[in-house]
Chain A
Amino acid sequence: MNAPKQGSGTEPAWVKAAANQSRLAFGLAVTELGRRDERVVAVGADTLDLIGLRGFIEHAPARVIDVGIAEQNAMGVAAGLATTGLRPFVCGYAPFITARSMEQIRNEVAYADQRVVIGAAASGVSLAVSGGTHHALEDLALMRSLPNMTVVVPADSHEAWHATLATDDIDGPAYIRLGGRVPEPPVTPVDAPFGLGKATCLAEGSDVAVIACGALVAPAVDAAKELAEQGIGARVLNMSTIKPLDEEAILAAAEETRGIVTAEEHHLTGGLGGAVAELLAVKRPTPMRMVGMPDEFAVVGPTNRIRARYGMSARHIVDACLDLLG
């Protein structure tokens, strides 16, 4: 695989500004789009700094609308703006901007098929110390169940930048799942080409395939290295778009390996593992293991310990692969 480029003197300014945080890369990309296109508007819910929109405010203060801590209103306002030809990006905390405004997202955004892009920061257990009220472990299930919705889970700040820019080509709604204040180690190159709906292969292998997204992509790569030391070839697919799913890449992995392990920072119900299982159950039944959050609420603690406790780490991916291969 290509090693991510780090600290090169020629890297673009956004890389440093994003500081390995996908939420900041999203805000920087929205700001970049806002410079290119006067139709771009940011809608927040007391989330300007969460998303890193101060640059956009400096550039065009009128086009940054924060409605305060009122996610339902933020989503309705965004849909209304979109009907007038503007291009709103709604920025919020993943647990609130999805569940709190779910009905607005379903009706005014997805059903009405408006071009609203939702940037959801602090997803998964990135706010682990906050407790279960602030974890977002069901957001992919919610968003994935909506017709018209595109669902993207960038693996790092680099991919968050490119994914956000790529939404410029979408006519309908999109959901971009972002991290919190915990730095996300880069796992994709700064200049990696990004295609919505396209998985990227981060490691080749034909014994087992690990299909991961978001915060579990880096552990998946680590797991593949560990498996390689045991003589097992693990293919790693970064499934950064959950919907539409890259069926071709998944079916090829199912055909060319002995089984598939999915890995995500999300409940095991309804997320990436669910999406892959739904596809394979119908098109190509394949042995699978799923790494993710079990059906319970997490205890409080540092994010990495919470991930490890509930089975979302490189070691758990290795174990799942070994279990699958018997």
Chain B
Amino acid sequence: MSNREALLRALREQALDIRRNTWRALHAAGSGHMGGSLSAADLLAALYFHHLNLRPEEPDWPERDRFVLSKGHANTALGAVLAQAGFVDDGFIDTFYAYESRFGMHPDIKVPGVEMCTGALGHGLSVGLGMALGSRLQGKDWRTVVMLGDGELQEGSNWEAAMAAAHLAPLRLTAILDYNKVQQSGHVAEMLGLEPLADKWRAFGWSVRECDGHDMEAIVDALDALPAAPDKPSLLIAHTVKGKGASFAEDTYLWHNNLVGDEVYEKAIAELGEPA
């Protein structure tokens, strides 16, 4: 097996573990946001175990790359990947929603590896822009990656940030859109459609690429090709499936956030197959 094949295989395993640990956290809490966590799992695996330059043993390492989960309701997946990467103990996953836990519904900057309190939608790209400017002002090489949700692109503040990022370029700034096509109350296209989305971002001055957000090879290729243009911020539109990996939860707003009892948990875990 080539090094690249080994990498892809390892990343796919990490992604499966993110899904398993997401369900584990949701089961511990009894409910939560599964849809947008499961759609982001492959992207998060590729970011944390391939793309981002991080030191889990030194979470505040000044030279680290910055990652902001703007779609903060996918915090179960973030908690999972932070545990898998070693920023927090494995037991952190079981503290989801627990009294005085730092693992609530949305990311808390006090958790090692979390760069900002997010979850109020439409905020993350501005914060990432500030981080990217901070990197440039201090003559640093580190990069900033912001993961956006599709529903949150309905918030106007994203477009303020998008416009400013292109104007203030060049910056080491990448946005990754987890484009799962579903939001809390229905399909995005029916609630408030975003298309033609790539054209909108290009018109705002961004370099745009698209990929299948569940094809690990395509994700890695896209990340490796960053920045997509030297003088523009990059947007990677990752086409994903809400609730990916759980047949009953895929592509439906009903599993944006839902209850997770024993039966749901066991079914979801079984569908993910045996761990490698």
Is there contact, CB below 8 Å, between B115 and A83?
Answer: yes
Which residues on the A side are within 8 Å of B131 (C-beta)?
A: 80-81, 83-84
Interface of A is mostly: helix
Which residues on the B side are within 8 Å of A282 (C-beta)?
A: none
* Distance from B61 Cβ to chain A, minimum over Cβ atoms (Å): 12
Interface residues on B, range: 20 to 34
Which residues on the B side are within 8 Å of A57 (C-beta)?
A: none
Which residues on the B side are within 8 Å of A83 (C-beta)?
A: 66, 115-116, 127, 130-131, 134
Q: Tell me if A297 is interfacial: C-beta within 8 Å of chain B.
A: no
Is there contact, CB below 8 Å, between A77 and B157?
Answer: no
* Distance from B202 Cβ to chain A, minimum over Cβ atoms (Å): 20
A41 in contact with B137 given A80-B127, A81-B131, A104-B123 (CB within 8 Å): yes
Residue of B nearest to A100 (CB): B157
Give Cα A307–Cα B75 distance, bound, in whole angstroms: 49
A63 in contact with B137 given A77-B164, A107-B117, A112-B109 (CB within 8 Å): yes
Is there contact, CB below 8 Å, between B133 and A77?
Answer: yes
Give Cα A122–Cα B114 distance, bound, in whole angstroms: 36
Is there contact, CB below 8 Å, between B137 and A73?
Answer: no
Is there contact, CB below 8 Å, between B130 and A70?
Answer: no
Q: Tell me if B138 is interfacial: C-beta within 8 Å of chain A.
A: yes
A80 in contact with B137 given A107-B117, A112-B109 (CB within 8 Å): no
A85 in contact with B138 given A65-B168, A67-B164 (CB within 8 Å): yes
Residue of A nearest to B121 (CB): A103
Give Cα A22–Cα B128 distance, bound, in whole angstroms: 32
Is there contact, CB below 8 Å, between B109 and A62?
Answer: no
A77 in contact with B126 given A83-B115, A112-B117 (CB within 8 Å): yes
Is there contact, CB below 8 Å, between A75 and B126?
Answer: yes
Which residues on the B side are within 8 Å of A82 (C-beta)?
A: 130
* Distance from A320 Cβ to chain B, minimum over Cβ atoms (Å): 41
Identify A73's interface contact among B115, B118, B135, B157, CB under 8 A: B157
Is there contact, CB below 8 Å, between A72 and B157?
Answer: yes
Is there contact, CB below 8 Å, between A62 and B137?
Answer: yes
Q: Tell me if B224 is interfacial: C-beta within 8 Å of chain A.
A: no
Identify A103's interface contact among B62, B123, B156, CB under 8 A: B123
Residue of B nearest to A111 (CB): B117
Give Cα A131–Cα B216 distance, bound, in whole angstroms: 56
Q: Tell me if B218 is interfacial: C-beta within 8 Å of chain A.
A: no
Residue of B nearest to A84 (CB): B134
Give Cα A55–Cα B11 distance, bound, in whole angstroms: 51
Which residues on the A side are within 8 Å of B77 (C-beta)?
A: none
Is there contact, CB below 8 Å, between A84 and B126?
Answer: no
Scan residues 97-113 of chain A and give those whose CB is less than 8 A from a CB of chain B. Answer: 103-104, 107-108, 111-113
Using a CB–CB cutoff of 8 Å, the interface residues on chain B facing chain A are: 62, 66, 109, 115-118, 120, 122-123, 125-135, 137-138, 156-157, 160-161, 163-164, 167-168
Given contacts A73-B157, A85-B62, A86-B137, 12 further A-B contacts (CB under 8 A): A67-B160, A73-B129, A76-B129, A77-B161, A80-B133, A80-B134, A81-B137, A83-B66, A83-B116, A84-B66, A84-B135, A103-B123
Using a CB–CB cutoff of 8 Å, the interface residues on chain A facing chain B are: 41, 62-63, 65, 67-68, 70, 72-73, 75-86, 88, 103-104, 107-108, 111-113
A sample of 20 inter-chain contacts (CB < 8 A) reads: A67-B168, A70-B164, A72-B122, A72-B156, A73-B157, A73-B161, A76-B123, A76-B125, A76-B129, A77-B126, A77-B133, A83-B116, A83-B130, A84-B135, A84-B138, A85-B134, A104-B123, A104-B157, A107-B117, A108-B123
